[in-house]
A = this chain, B = another copy of it.
Amino acid sequence: MATSHRRLNLNVGINPTGYLPNAWKYRSGSVKDIANPDHYLRLARIAHRGVFDAVFVSDMPLLRLGRDSRPGQTIDPLILATALTAQVPDIGFVATVSSTFNSPYNLARRAQSVDIMSGGRLVINIVSNFVPEVAANFGRDPLPPREVRYPRAVEFVDVAKKLWASWDRSREGEVPDDQFWDDSSAHTIDHDGAHFYVRGPLNVPRSLQGHPVIAQAGASEGGIDLAARHGEVLYANVLSRGAGHALGKKVRDLAVTYGRDPSSIRLMPGLVAIVADSREAALRKHELFSGAGSEDGLLARFVEAHGLDPATFDPDAPLNPADFVPDPNRQQALGFTLGLVDLLTHDSLTAREAVRRSEGNHRLLLGTAEEVADQIIDLWADGSVDGYTLQPPRAPDDIIEFVDKVIPILQDRGVYPREYVGDTIRERYGLPHPA
Protein backbone atom coordinates (compact mmCIF):
# COMPACT_ATOMS: atom_id res chain seq x y z
CA MET A 1 0.00 0.00 0.00
CA ALA A 2 1.17 3.52 -0.65
CA THR A 3 1.99 5.28 2.58
CA SER A 4 -0.30 8.18 1.63
CA HIS A 5 -3.23 5.75 1.55
CA ARG A 6 -5.17 5.74 4.83
CA ARG A 7 -5.14 2.26 6.27
CA LEU A 8 -6.83 0.41 9.06
CA ASN A 9 -4.58 -0.24 12.06
CA LEU A 10 -5.15 -3.31 14.16
CA ASN A 11 -3.54 -4.48 17.38
CA VAL A 12 -4.42 -7.75 19.06
CA GLY A 13 -4.45 -8.56 22.76
CA ILE A 14 -2.48 -11.64 23.79
CA ASN A 15 -3.81 -12.16 27.24
CA PRO A 16 -2.62 -15.78 27.38
CA THR A 17 -6.01 -17.46 27.70
CA GLY A 18 -8.12 -14.73 26.11
CA TYR A 19 -9.87 -11.55 27.14
CA LEU A 20 -13.26 -12.68 28.40
CA PRO A 21 -13.33 -14.09 31.92
CA ASN A 22 -15.38 -17.17 31.10
CA ALA A 23 -14.20 -17.94 27.62
CA TRP A 24 -11.25 -20.05 28.82
CA LYS A 25 -13.66 -22.93 29.35
CA TYR A 26 -14.04 -23.18 25.59
CA ARG A 27 -10.43 -22.62 24.59
CA SER A 28 -7.81 -25.11 23.49
CA GLY A 29 -4.73 -25.35 25.66
CA SER A 30 -4.06 -25.76 29.37
CA VAL A 31 -3.74 -23.60 32.44
CA LYS A 32 0.04 -23.94 32.09
CA ASP A 33 -0.11 -21.54 29.14
CA ILE A 34 -0.22 -18.49 31.43
CA ALA A 35 3.51 -18.61 32.06
CA ASN A 36 4.67 -20.68 29.12
CA PRO A 37 7.14 -18.83 26.83
CA ASP A 38 6.27 -21.08 23.89
CA HIS A 39 2.60 -20.24 24.20
CA TYR A 40 3.27 -16.49 24.04
CA LEU A 41 5.60 -17.01 21.11
CA ARG A 42 2.90 -18.96 19.32
CA LEU A 43 0.35 -16.19 19.89
CA ALA A 44 2.77 -13.59 18.54
CA ARG A 45 3.49 -15.71 15.48
CA ILE A 46 -0.21 -16.10 14.76
CA ALA A 47 -0.60 -12.33 15.12
CA HIS A 48 2.32 -11.84 12.73
CA ARG A 49 0.61 -14.08 10.21
CA GLY A 50 -2.38 -11.73 10.51
CA VAL A 51 -0.12 -8.71 9.84
CA PHE A 52 -1.32 -7.10 13.07
CA ASP A 53 0.53 -3.89 13.84
CA ALA A 54 1.18 -4.98 17.37
CA VAL A 55 0.30 -7.41 20.09
CA PHE A 56 -1.05 -5.89 23.28
CA VAL A 57 -0.82 -6.94 26.91
CA SER A 58 -2.74 -5.37 29.74
CA ASP A 59 -1.07 -5.47 33.12
CA MET A 60 -1.47 -5.20 36.83
CA PRO A 61 1.25 -5.97 39.41
CA LEU A 62 -1.10 -8.15 41.42
CA LEU A 63 -2.08 -11.79 41.70
CA ARG A 64 -5.70 -12.09 42.75
CA LEU A 65 -6.63 -15.17 44.72
CA GLY A 66 -10.05 -16.72 45.05
CA ARG A 67 -12.00 -19.45 43.36
CA ASP A 68 -13.07 -17.29 40.43
CA SER A 69 -9.73 -15.60 39.85
CA ARG A 70 -7.80 -16.14 36.65
CA PRO A 71 -4.14 -15.10 36.51
CA GLY A 72 -3.64 -13.55 33.12
CA GLN A 73 -0.99 -10.93 33.74
CA THR A 74 2.11 -12.80 34.70
CA ILE A 75 5.28 -12.15 32.68
CA ASP A 76 6.40 -8.51 33.02
CA PRO A 77 5.16 -6.76 29.85
CA LEU A 78 8.50 -5.17 28.91
CA ILE A 79 10.27 -8.50 29.37
CA LEU A 80 7.64 -10.22 27.25
CA ALA A 81 7.97 -7.45 24.64
CA THR A 82 11.71 -8.02 24.46
CA ALA A 83 11.50 -11.79 24.21
CA LEU A 84 8.80 -11.78 21.54
CA THR A 85 10.23 -9.00 19.36
CA ALA A 86 13.60 -10.80 19.50
CA GLN A 87 11.98 -13.88 18.00
CA VAL A 88 9.21 -12.54 15.78
CA PRO A 89 10.04 -9.96 13.09
CA ASP A 90 8.07 -6.83 12.19
CA ILE A 91 5.32 -6.92 14.76
CA GLY A 92 5.08 -4.21 17.41
CA PHE A 93 4.30 -4.69 21.07
CA VAL A 94 2.03 -2.61 23.31
CA ALA A 95 3.24 -3.01 26.89
CA THR A 96 1.10 -1.69 29.71
CA VAL A 97 3.20 0.09 32.34
CA SER A 98 2.32 1.84 35.58
CA SER A 99 3.16 5.49 36.20
CA THR A 100 2.16 5.09 39.84
CA PHE A 101 4.49 2.26 40.83
CA ASN A 102 7.59 3.04 38.79
CA SER A 103 10.28 5.72 38.82
CA PRO A 104 10.51 7.69 35.57
CA TYR A 105 14.26 7.18 35.14
CA ASN A 106 14.05 3.41 35.42
CA LEU A 107 10.96 3.11 33.27
CA ALA A 108 12.16 5.54 30.59
CA ARG A 109 15.38 3.58 30.45
CA ARG A 110 13.78 0.17 30.27
CA ALA A 111 11.26 1.19 27.65
CA GLN A 112 13.91 2.88 25.52
CA SER A 113 16.08 -0.23 25.89
CA VAL A 114 13.26 -2.39 24.54
CA ASP A 115 12.68 0.10 21.74
CA ILE A 116 16.34 -0.09 20.76
CA MET A 117 16.61 -3.87 21.01
CA SER A 118 13.42 -4.30 18.96
CA GLY A 119 14.42 -1.78 16.31
CA GLY A 120 11.62 0.68 17.15
CA ARG A 121 8.67 -1.60 17.80
CA LEU A 122 7.56 -0.64 21.29
CA VAL A 123 4.38 1.09 22.39
CA ILE A 124 3.91 1.78 26.09
CA ASN A 125 0.39 1.98 27.41
CA ILE A 126 0.60 4.27 30.44
CA VAL A 127 -1.83 3.41 33.22
CA SER A 128 -2.14 4.87 36.68
CA ASN A 129 -3.69 1.70 38.20
CA PHE A 130 -7.17 1.83 39.67
CA VAL A 131 -7.26 -1.36 41.75
CA PRO A 132 -6.60 -0.54 45.41
CA GLU A 133 -5.09 -3.95 46.24
CA VAL A 134 -2.14 -3.22 43.95
CA ALA A 135 -0.82 -0.64 46.40
CA ALA A 136 -0.22 -3.26 49.08
CA ASN A 137 2.59 -4.74 46.97
CA PHE A 138 4.41 -1.42 47.16
CA GLY A 139 4.15 -0.28 50.75
CA ARG A 140 1.75 0.64 53.52
CA ASP A 141 0.21 3.65 51.80
CA PRO A 142 -3.16 3.20 50.10
CA LEU A 143 -3.54 3.75 46.37
CA PRO A 144 -3.32 7.50 45.71
CA PRO A 145 -6.64 8.97 44.56
CA ARG A 146 -7.27 9.63 40.86
CA GLU A 147 -6.60 13.38 41.41
CA VAL A 148 -3.05 12.50 42.43
CA ARG A 149 -2.43 9.59 40.07
CA TYR A 150 -3.19 11.44 36.84
CA PRO A 151 -1.13 14.58 37.46
CA ARG A 152 1.67 12.24 38.48
CA ALA A 153 1.19 10.29 35.25
CA VAL A 154 1.36 13.49 33.20
CA GLU A 155 4.57 14.59 34.90
CA PHE A 156 5.91 11.05 34.62
CA VAL A 157 5.62 11.17 30.84
CA ASP A 158 6.97 14.75 30.79
CA VAL A 159 10.09 13.45 32.51
CA ALA A 160 10.31 10.38 30.29
CA LYS A 161 10.15 12.52 27.15
CA LYS A 162 12.84 14.84 28.46
CA LEU A 163 15.00 11.83 29.25
CA TRP A 164 14.41 10.24 25.85
CA ALA A 165 15.54 13.48 24.23
CA SER A 166 18.48 13.96 26.59
CA TRP A 167 20.95 11.83 24.62
CA ASP A 168 20.68 12.09 20.88
CA ARG A 169 23.50 10.48 18.99
CA SER A 170 22.56 12.32 15.83
CA ARG A 171 24.05 15.35 17.59
CA GLU A 172 27.45 13.64 17.82
CA GLY A 173 30.23 15.50 16.11
CA GLU A 174 33.86 14.74 15.41
CA VAL A 175 35.97 14.04 18.47
CA PRO A 176 39.74 13.80 18.88
CA ASP A 177 41.28 10.34 18.51
CA ASP A 178 41.84 10.01 22.24
CA GLN A 179 38.25 10.82 23.15
CA PHE A 180 35.70 8.01 23.20
CA TRP A 181 32.51 9.92 22.36
CA ASP A 182 31.07 13.36 21.91
CA ASP A 183 29.52 13.98 25.32
CA SER A 184 27.89 17.17 24.06
CA SER A 185 25.33 14.86 22.41
CA ALA A 186 23.86 14.41 25.91
CA HIS A 187 22.70 16.92 28.49
CA THR A 188 21.16 16.90 31.94
CA ILE A 189 17.44 17.61 32.14
CA ASP A 190 17.37 18.98 35.70
CA HIS A 191 13.69 18.25 36.09
CA ASP A 192 12.33 19.59 39.37
CA GLY A 193 8.56 19.11 39.56
CA ALA A 194 5.70 18.41 41.92
CA HIS A 195 6.23 14.65 41.85
CA PHE A 196 9.71 14.05 40.50
CA TYR A 197 13.24 15.34 40.67
CA VAL A 198 15.46 13.84 37.96
CA ARG A 199 18.81 15.18 36.86
CA GLY A 200 19.51 13.03 33.80
CA PRO A 201 20.68 12.55 31.14
CA LEU A 202 19.29 9.10 30.37
CA ASN A 203 22.03 6.54 29.81
CA VAL A 204 20.23 5.14 26.77
CA PRO A 205 20.26 7.10 23.51
CA ARG A 206 17.44 7.82 21.08
CA SER A 207 15.93 4.78 19.34
CA LEU A 208 15.18 4.35 15.67
CA GLN A 209 11.69 5.80 16.17
CA GLY A 210 12.88 8.45 18.64
CA HIS A 211 11.15 6.93 21.63
CA PRO A 212 8.40 4.38 22.21
CA VAL A 213 4.94 5.32 20.98
CA ILE A 214 2.76 6.38 23.91
CA ALA A 215 -0.64 4.79 24.31
CA GLN A 216 -3.22 5.76 26.86
CA ALA A 217 -6.34 3.96 28.00
CA GLY A 218 -8.16 5.93 30.69
CA ALA A 219 -11.30 7.93 29.89
CA SER A 220 -11.79 9.87 33.10
CA GLU A 221 -11.14 13.62 32.93
CA GLY A 222 -7.61 12.94 34.13
CA GLY A 223 -7.20 10.25 31.51
CA ILE A 224 -8.43 12.55 28.75
CA ASP A 225 -5.98 15.23 29.86
CA LEU A 226 -3.11 12.73 29.83
CA ALA A 227 -4.20 11.55 26.39
CA ALA A 228 -4.37 15.11 25.06
CA ARG A 229 -0.93 15.98 26.40
CA HIS A 230 0.94 12.79 25.61
CA GLY A 231 -1.22 10.09 24.05
CA GLU A 232 -0.39 8.97 20.51
CA VAL A 233 -2.60 5.90 20.49
CA LEU A 234 -5.86 5.87 22.46
CA TYR A 235 -6.99 2.48 23.62
CA ALA A 236 -10.39 3.66 24.80
CA ASN A 237 -13.89 2.28 25.10
CA VAL A 238 -15.76 3.41 22.02
CA LEU A 239 -19.02 1.56 21.56
CA SER A 240 -20.57 3.62 18.77
CA ARG A 241 -19.86 5.95 15.88
CA GLY A 242 -21.06 8.97 17.83
CA ALA A 243 -18.91 8.09 20.81
CA GLY A 244 -15.87 7.67 18.59
CA HIS A 245 -16.38 11.04 16.96
CA ALA A 246 -17.01 12.70 20.31
CA LEU A 247 -13.98 11.19 22.04
CA GLY A 248 -11.67 11.87 19.12
CA LYS A 249 -12.83 15.48 18.91
CA LYS A 250 -12.58 16.01 22.66
CA VAL A 251 -9.03 14.68 22.93
CA ARG A 252 -7.80 16.33 19.71
CA ASP A 253 -9.32 19.71 20.59
CA LEU A 254 -7.68 19.62 23.97
CA ALA A 255 -4.41 18.45 22.38
CA VAL A 256 -4.44 21.56 20.18
CA THR A 257 -4.60 23.76 23.28
CA TYR A 258 -1.41 21.98 24.41
CA GLY A 259 0.22 22.86 21.12
CA ARG A 260 -0.01 19.41 19.57
CA ASP A 261 -0.89 18.49 16.01
CA PRO A 262 -4.30 16.75 16.28
CA SER A 263 -3.32 14.31 13.54
CA SER A 264 -0.66 12.89 15.86
CA ILE A 265 -3.35 11.00 17.79
CA ARG A 266 -4.71 7.62 16.71
CA LEU A 267 -7.93 6.25 18.13
CA MET A 268 -7.72 2.45 18.41
CA PRO A 269 -10.42 1.35 20.86
CA GLY A 270 -10.81 -2.14 22.23
CA LEU A 271 -12.93 -4.55 20.20
CA VAL A 272 -14.39 -7.95 20.99
CA ALA A 273 -15.30 -9.86 17.85
CA ILE A 274 -17.16 -13.14 17.99
CA VAL A 275 -17.26 -14.80 14.59
CA ALA A 276 -19.49 -17.73 13.62
CA ASP A 277 -21.15 -19.18 10.55
CA SER A 278 -24.30 -17.17 11.28
CA ARG A 279 -25.29 -14.27 13.51
CA GLU A 280 -27.45 -16.63 15.56
CA ALA A 281 -24.49 -18.91 16.17
CA ALA A 282 -22.41 -15.88 17.18
CA LEU A 283 -25.08 -14.86 19.70
CA ARG A 284 -24.89 -18.31 21.28
CA LYS A 285 -21.08 -18.11 21.46
CA HIS A 286 -21.42 -14.70 23.10
CA GLU A 287 -23.71 -16.15 25.76
CA LEU A 288 -21.22 -18.91 26.46
CA PHE A 289 -18.01 -16.85 26.37
CA SER A 290 -19.50 -14.12 28.56
CA GLY A 291 -20.48 -16.69 31.17
CA ALA A 292 -24.07 -15.44 31.13
CA GLY A 293 -25.29 -18.64 29.47
CA SER A 294 -28.28 -17.12 27.69
CA GLU A 295 -29.80 -13.81 26.63
CA ASP A 296 -31.74 -13.73 29.89
CA GLY A 297 -28.44 -14.27 31.66
CA LEU A 298 -26.93 -11.30 29.83
CA LEU A 299 -29.89 -9.16 30.87
CA ALA A 300 -29.70 -10.30 34.50
CA ARG A 301 -26.00 -9.44 34.54
CA PHE A 302 -26.81 -6.00 33.10
CA VAL A 303 -29.38 -5.35 35.84
CA GLU A 304 -26.96 -6.34 38.55
CA ALA A 305 -23.93 -4.53 37.14
CA HIS A 306 -25.80 -1.23 37.00
CA GLY A 307 -27.80 -1.57 40.19
CA LEU A 308 -31.16 -1.52 38.42
CA ASP A 309 -34.40 -2.63 40.06
CA PRO A 310 -35.31 -6.07 38.66
CA ALA A 311 -38.98 -5.49 39.54
CA THR A 312 -39.38 -2.53 37.20
CA PHE A 313 -36.73 -3.51 34.62
CA ASP A 314 -38.05 -3.80 31.05
CA PRO A 315 -35.46 -5.29 28.68
CA ASP A 316 -37.29 -3.87 25.68
CA ALA A 317 -37.72 -0.28 26.86
CA PRO A 318 -35.28 2.40 25.66
CA LEU A 319 -32.53 3.08 28.19
CA ASN A 320 -31.88 6.53 29.60
CA PRO A 321 -28.15 7.40 29.84
CA ALA A 322 -28.86 9.52 32.93
CA ASP A 323 -29.53 6.28 34.81
CA PHE A 324 -25.93 5.16 34.29
CA VAL A 325 -23.88 7.91 35.89
CA PRO A 326 -20.58 6.34 36.93
CA ASP A 327 -19.91 6.20 40.62
CA PRO A 328 -16.39 7.59 41.16
CA ASN A 329 -16.12 5.62 44.39
CA ARG A 330 -16.47 2.28 42.65
CA GLN A 331 -13.36 0.20 42.24
CA GLN A 332 -13.29 0.07 38.48
CA ALA A 333 -11.88 2.00 35.59
CA LEU A 334 -14.17 4.97 35.11
CA GLY A 335 -13.96 4.64 31.35
CA PHE A 336 -15.85 1.38 31.38
CA THR A 337 -19.06 2.95 32.68
CA LEU A 338 -18.50 6.08 30.63
CA GLY A 339 -18.38 3.91 27.54
CA LEU A 340 -21.94 2.71 28.16
CA VAL A 341 -23.14 6.24 28.90
CA ASP A 342 -21.57 7.43 25.65
CA LEU A 343 -23.21 4.60 23.77
CA LEU A 344 -26.65 5.43 25.15
CA THR A 345 -26.12 9.12 24.51
CA HIS A 346 -25.42 8.53 20.85
CA ASP A 347 -27.66 5.52 20.11
CA SER A 348 -31.15 4.86 21.43
CA LEU A 349 -31.06 1.28 22.68
CA THR A 350 -33.03 -1.16 24.78
CA ALA A 351 -31.20 -3.30 27.32
CA ARG A 352 -31.70 -6.30 25.01
CA GLU A 353 -29.85 -4.40 22.31
CA ALA A 354 -27.25 -2.87 24.64
CA VAL A 355 -26.07 -6.21 26.02
CA ARG A 356 -25.10 -7.19 22.46
CA ARG A 357 -23.18 -3.99 21.83
CA SER A 358 -20.41 -4.41 24.38
CA GLU A 359 -18.63 -7.21 26.17
CA GLY A 360 -15.78 -6.90 28.61
CA ASN A 361 -16.57 -3.15 28.38
CA HIS A 362 -15.45 -2.95 24.75
CA ARG A 363 -17.37 -2.72 21.50
CA LEU A 364 -18.77 -6.13 20.63
CA LEU A 365 -19.19 -7.39 17.07
CA LEU A 366 -21.22 -10.53 16.49
CA GLY A 367 -21.79 -12.30 13.23
CA THR A 368 -20.20 -13.91 10.24
CA ALA A 369 -16.69 -12.95 9.19
CA GLU A 370 -18.21 -10.72 6.50
CA GLU A 371 -20.50 -9.00 8.99
CA VAL A 372 -17.68 -8.46 11.45
CA ALA A 373 -15.39 -7.10 8.74
CA ASP A 374 -18.16 -4.75 7.56
CA GLN A 375 -18.66 -3.36 11.06
CA ILE A 376 -14.91 -2.90 11.56
CA ILE A 377 -14.61 -0.98 8.33
CA ASP A 378 -17.80 1.00 9.00
CA LEU A 379 -16.51 3.13 11.88
CA TRP A 380 -13.03 3.30 10.43
CA ALA A 381 -14.14 4.47 6.95
CA ASP A 382 -15.51 7.81 8.12
CA GLY A 383 -12.71 8.41 10.60
CA SER A 384 -14.68 7.70 13.78
CA VAL A 385 -11.77 5.45 14.70
CA ASP A 386 -8.34 4.81 13.17
CA GLY A 387 -8.37 1.15 13.95
CA TYR A 388 -8.97 -1.27 16.76
CA THR A 389 -7.29 -3.22 19.49
CA LEU A 390 -8.85 -6.62 19.06
CA GLN A 391 -9.44 -8.45 22.34
CA PRO A 392 -10.07 -12.08 21.40
CA PRO A 393 -12.40 -13.83 23.85
CA ARG A 394 -10.22 -16.94 23.73
CA ALA A 395 -6.54 -17.31 22.94
CA PRO A 396 -5.32 -18.75 20.70
CA ASP A 397 -8.68 -19.88 19.21
CA ASP A 398 -10.27 -16.53 18.43
CA ILE A 399 -7.00 -15.01 17.20
CA ILE A 400 -6.61 -17.88 14.75
CA GLU A 401 -10.24 -17.57 13.65
CA PHE A 402 -9.91 -13.82 13.10
CA VAL A 403 -6.65 -14.20 11.20
CA ASP A 404 -8.00 -16.98 9.00
CA LYS A 405 -11.46 -15.57 8.33
CA VAL A 406 -11.70 -11.81 8.92
CA ILE A 407 -8.23 -10.56 7.96
CA PRO A 408 -8.46 -11.87 4.35
CA ILE A 409 -11.73 -9.96 3.91
CA LEU A 410 -10.18 -6.75 5.22
CA GLN A 411 -7.28 -7.32 2.83
CA ASP A 412 -9.59 -7.99 -0.11
CA ARG A 413 -11.40 -4.74 0.66
CA GLY A 414 -8.08 -2.93 0.32
CA VAL A 415 -8.17 -1.35 3.78
CA TYR A 416 -5.61 -3.60 5.46
CA PRO A 417 -2.08 -4.57 4.37
CA ARG A 418 -1.08 -7.97 3.08
CA GLU A 419 2.42 -7.62 4.45
CA TYR A 420 4.46 -5.43 6.75
CA VAL A 421 5.57 -2.11 5.31
CA GLY A 422 8.10 0.20 6.98
CA ASP A 423 10.36 -0.48 9.91
CA THR A 424 8.95 1.03 13.07
CA ILE A 425 5.58 0.80 14.76
CA ARG A 426 5.45 4.61 14.71
CA GLU A 427 5.68 4.52 10.93
CA ARG A 428 2.94 1.88 10.67
CA TYR A 429 0.60 3.95 12.80
CA GLY A 430 1.39 6.98 10.65
CA LEU A 431 2.64 8.91 13.67
CA PRO A 432 5.24 11.67 13.44
CA HIS A 433 8.82 11.17 14.65
CA PRO A 434 9.37 13.05 17.92
CA ALA A 435 11.08 16.42 17.54
9-residue interface stretch from A58-66, A235-243, A384-392 = A58-66
- How far, in whole Å, are A34 and B80 apart by their CA atoms in the complex? 23
- The answer to whether B199 and A63 have CB atoms under 8 Å apart is no
- How far, in whole Å, are A138 and B200 apart by their CA atoms in the complex? 9
Most chain B beta-carbon contacts within 10 A, residue among A34, A82, A137, A172: A137
List the B side residues contacting A83 at CB < 8 Å.
Answer: 82-83, 86, 117
A4 interface contact, C-beta 8 A: no
Among the listed B37, B116, B186, which residue makes an inter-chain contact with A117, where contact means beta carbons less than 8 Å apart? B37
A183 interface contact, C-beta 8 A: yes
Among the listed B17, B86, B183, which residue makes an inter-chain contact with A66, where contact means beta carbons less than 8 Å apart? B183
9-residue interface stretch from A106-114, A147-155, A423-431 = A106-114
9 nearest CB pairs, A to B: A63-B203, A86-B86, A136-B199, A82-B82, A76-B113, A79-B113, A105-B137, A83-B117, A70-B180
- The answer to whether A140 and B197 have CB atoms under 8 Å apart is yes
Please list 11 pairs of residues, one from A and one from B, whose beta carbons are closer than 8 Å in the complex, sorted by A's number.
A24-B180, A31-B180, A63-B200, A69-B180, A70-B180, A74-B203, A74-B204, A75-B116, A101-B106, A103-B138, A105-B137
- How far, in whole Å, are A169 and B34 apart by their CA atoms in the complex? 11
Q: Mark A211-229, 1 if CB is under 8 A from B, else 0.
A: 0000000000000000000
CB contacts under 8 Å to B, within A60-101, are 60-63, 65-71, 73-76, 78-80, 82-83, 86-87, 101
Q: Is the interface of A mostly helix, strand, loop or mixed?
A: loop
A205 interface contact, C-beta 8 A: yes
- The answer to whether A76 and B109 have CB atoms under 8 Å apart is yes
- The answer to whether B110 and A76 have CB atoms under 8 Å apart is yes
A156 interface contact, C-beta 8 A: no
List the B side residues contacting A136 at CB < 8 Å.
Answer: 197-199
Q: Mark A167-208, 1 if CB is under 8 A from B, else 0.
A: 101001000011111010011100000001111111111000
- How far, in whole Å, are A76 and B105 apart by their CA atoms in the complex? 11
- The answer to whether B138 and A105 have CB atoms under 8 Å apart is yes
- How far, in whole Å, are A71 and B166 apart by their CA atoms in the complex? 14
A139 interface contact, C-beta 8 A: yes
Look across to chain B and name the residue whose beta carbon is closest to the beta carbon of A206.
B35
Q: Mark A254-296, 1 if CB is under 8 A from B, else 0.
A: 0000000000000000000000000000000000000000000
A332 interface contact, C-beta 8 A: no
A119 interface contact, C-beta 8 A: yes
A413 interface contact, C-beta 8 A: no
- The answer to whether A117 and B74 have CB atoms under 8 Å apart is no
Q: A31-B181, A63-B203, A138-B198 are in contact. Are A82 and B74 (CB under 8 A)?
A: no
A25 interface contact, C-beta 8 A: yes
A348 interface contact, C-beta 8 A: no
Among the listed B68, B179, B187, B188, which residue makes an inter-chain contact with A67, where contact means beta carbons less than 8 Å apart? B179
List the B side residues contacting A203 at CB < 8 Å.
Answer: 60-63, 71, 73-74
The smallest beta-carbon distance between A165 and chain B, in angstroms, is: 13
A102 interface contact, C-beta 8 A: yes
List the B side residues contacting A71 at CB < 8 Å.
Answer: 181, 203
List the B side residues contacting A196 at CB < 8 Å.
Answer: 139
Among the listed B62, B80, B101, which residue makes an inter-chain contact with A103, where contact means beta carbons less than 8 Å apart? B101
- The answer to whether B116 and A61 have CB atoms under 8 Å apart is no
- The answer to whether A119 and B37 have CB atoms under 8 Å apart is yes
